[in-house]
Amino acid sequence: MSKTAIEAMLPFFDKYYGNPSSLYELGQASKEALEAARADIAACLGAEPSEIYFTSCGSESDNQAIRSAAHLGALKGKKHIISTAFEHHAVLHTLKRLEKEEGFEVTLLDVHSDGLVTAAQVKEAIRPDTCLVTIMFANNEIGTVQPIKEIGEICRAAGVPFHTDAVQAVGHIPVNVKEQNIDMLSLSAHKFHGPKGTGALYCRKGMRLLSFIDGGAQERGKRAGTENVAEIVAMAAAMKEACANMPQNSAKLVKLRDKIIAELTKIPHSRLNGSMEHHLPGTINMCFEGIEGEGLLLHLDDKGICASSGSACTSGSLDPSHVLLAIGLPHEVAHGSLRISLSEYNTEEDADRIIKAVPEVVEYLRNMSPVWKELESGERKHLI
């Protein structure tokens, strides 16, 4: 978390601890802070305060947006949803349940090898019974940024609601819901140095939103439960800070990112994943043939580098990343993936540590790998 966010939230634990739904002065102080945070978040998105609903996270926001559009569409006999094959699981699993349990038909658009989908693909897939298009703003694993404005234009012209999971985008690249023709948008605070476990959902005025949690009248009756005022205030503070500093942060991250990529792509039989022309400033995703991703992560952790992998092996599954498979990588290559996420808090020294550590770990793991020995001996064909 940013120091700005921490400082903003602390008074709401012991001084302004009132329930914002209460009429007494202590509660109304919390209410004022809640509404000020709503206005700040709306301003960062080019939205109106009344279009912002507070949630617990991006996944909840995704669920509420998708299920609202789906169930309202079904009332009109529309049960077709368009998405992509490399969405976050908060989207894909929600769509799978709607498909399996409620009879919806889901079209998952193919993703090009550069990690992009096109507005033309969306236009071709829209049908008279389409009730929702949901396509992520920027991919959480490979960092590719989608043509959101153009996709939104297609959906608006067809009269189809358009939702985007913008968890990875908000605070890192410019987002304006009006200019980019977005009807609903999900975000999560921890992606821009706010607290974990709080998020928001933008829903354009005129769009209907169904209640996801029933109970009280909080969030204008659309999300019952006492608001987490401290974390919401911190989220707004972090978001304002991230958006205000976006130009200089982006310039710094692009420099660090490109420096790391330039060196790591020198490793033999390595591959950079995703389009670099349409890319988040601080995301790097690479594959190294002949090794497993989980081993790479554990050895990097020993060297003080916190990274992640497209491989799900560390969660008990041997399946490689669905994102990497969606862009056409074979299983053997997708298993050896590495994702590095940079922020403005990273330094040139951090970049140098990564540049030194990754080749050392890859070489060590390859020397231990029977697969790599088969590749080097010619028993197997190199795929990178």
Catalytic residues: 313
Nearest to 297 by CA among 317, 314, 322: 314
Tokens 């298993």 correspond to 335
Distances (CA, A) of 44 to 242, 245, 258: 10, 12, 28
DSSP assignment string, 12-74: HHHTS---TT--SHHHHHHHHHHHHHHHHHHHHHT--GGGEEEES-HHHHHHHHHHHHHHHHH
The residues pairing with 284 across neighbouring beta strands, listed in sequence order, are 340
Residues 89, 296, 261, CA angle at the centre, nearest 5°?
Answer: 85
CB atoms under 10 Å from CB of 382, counted, come to 12
CB atoms under 10 Å from CB of 10, counted, come to 13
* Spatial distance between the Cα atoms of 383 and 289, rounded to a whole number of angstroms: 8
Tokens 């023709």 correspond to 181
| Burial (0-12, 13-18, 19+ Cβ within 10 Å), 109 | buried
Q: What is the dihedral of CA 307, 308, 309, 311, to 10 degrees?
A: 140
Decide: 123 and 157 in contact? Cβ < 8 Å.
no
Tokens 């490793």 correspond to 267
Residues 238, 244, 249, CA angle at the centre, nearest 5°?
Answer: 90
Nearest to 105 by CA among 84, 76, 78: 78
Tokens 């304006």 correspond to 176
Residues 250, 142, 5, CA angle at the centre, nearest 5°?
Answer: 45
CB atoms under 10 Å from CB of 330, counted, come to 14
